[in-house]
Amino acid sequence: MNLKLLIAILLFCGIKSYASGFKTFVPKEDGYVPVAIKVEKKSINNICKFLGYNSEEFYTYNDFDLKNSKIFIVIFKSFSDKIICVLTEDTVESIEQKDVDNYLVNFNLKDDFDSYDVESTLEDGVKNKSLSKEFLSEVFNNPISDNDSFVAVEIGYELHFKNGVLTSYNPSDGLNKWAKSWKNEMPERYRKYYNEASRYQTNETDILKELNAQAAAFANTPDGVMNEYIKFHTNDNGIVNYKMLLVAHYNQTMDIDEFKLINKGRYELSNEFNDQDNYKRTTYRVNKGLYTFDEKGKLINSYTSN
């Protein structure tokens, strides 16, 4: 098995540590220069550690569809398109900027370090106390003090530091990671759902709550746009209510307040029952779904009907 195929298999399987047989080049002002990596085991993790980066501070990019390239892997600083190093076969003597540019012809930061990667890296960074003010200051070109907060507009998060280490974060644009993914990678879908929510919600906060709920539901819908139950949850504008699809068919729970917020202006009373013992059942319809709540606002039944 040749080296290129072996590395492709290892990377596809999620193994980040393999790097034997590689030569490492780092960027300099006048191009790229080879660096002798003095570690016992020449893995990608160890290469980056030798160069001063922990596992939350880098990610790898590879494009094995490109033929006859000197390059196998480009390693970037997390959250950015700033190159840490380039890996080639041991036999390569030198590389030029055009070699790197040609290898990165299909690279796109928003696709190759997407919203999921951003949030999972932040999460791991907080957990492992591994994202420093120095690293993030460099990545975002923003000076940070030891106990500071700032908005990283490039990723849409406010970052909070204590003693020079990232300790917490929160969305600065109100979007969860799934809605951020729509906005960055599926802007037409984002626009449709934002416009749909805007027709009924009265303020930006509630628009974003609805948008977040639908994007998260979409991410968790089996088979996505091919789900067998979509026909029951599509309105006249062609908008699929993925949140209610999960509630009706996949046992996702919600209370009456969330129901009325997510479906504001689009639900209608189907049936209401009360008796003298305060036994109450109220059923609402959204598209072809019916949802019954008890007197405390707890969902107790849901089903679809033509």
**CA atoms of 194 and 39, how far apart (whole Å):** 51
| CB contact set of 183 (below 8 Å; sequence gap of 6+) | 175, 190
H helix or E strand, kind and range, residue 88: strand 83-89
pLDDT of residue 40: 81
In the chain, the amino acid numbered 174 is G
**Residue 2 has what pLDDT?**
45
What percent of the chain clears pLDDT 70, i.e. is strictly above it? 92
**Kind plus residue range of the DSSP H or E element containing 164:** none
Q: Please give the torsion angle defined by the CA atoms of residues 229, 224, 177 and 243, in that order, rounded to the nearest 10 degrees.
A: 0
Q: How many CB atoms lie within 10 A of CB 147?
A: 12
Residue 66: its pLDDT value, please?
Answer: 83
299 pairs with which residues across the strands?
A: 293
Query: What average pLDDT does the structure give for the chain?
Result: 90
Token pair, residue 13, equals 């399987």
Q: Assess whether pLDDT exceeds 60 at residue 171.
A: yes
pLDDT score of 64: 79
Proportion of the chain above pLDDT 90, given as a percent: 77
Alpha-carbon distances, residue 168 vs 120, 123, 145 (angstroms) = 13, 8, 15
CB 93, CB 137: distance < 8 Å: no
Residue 254: pLDDT over 50: yes
Element spanning 278, H or E: none
Q: How far apart are CA 261 and CA 214, in angstroms?
A: 12
The tens digit of pLDDT for each residue in 86-125 reads 999 888 999 999 999 999 999 999 899 998 999 999 999 9
Residue 9: its pLDDT value, please?
40
Convert the pLDDT of each residue in 140-164 to its tens digit: 999 999 999 999 999 999 999 999 9
Regarding pTM above 0.85, the answer is no
Average pLDDT over residues 254-266: 96
pLDDT at 277: 66
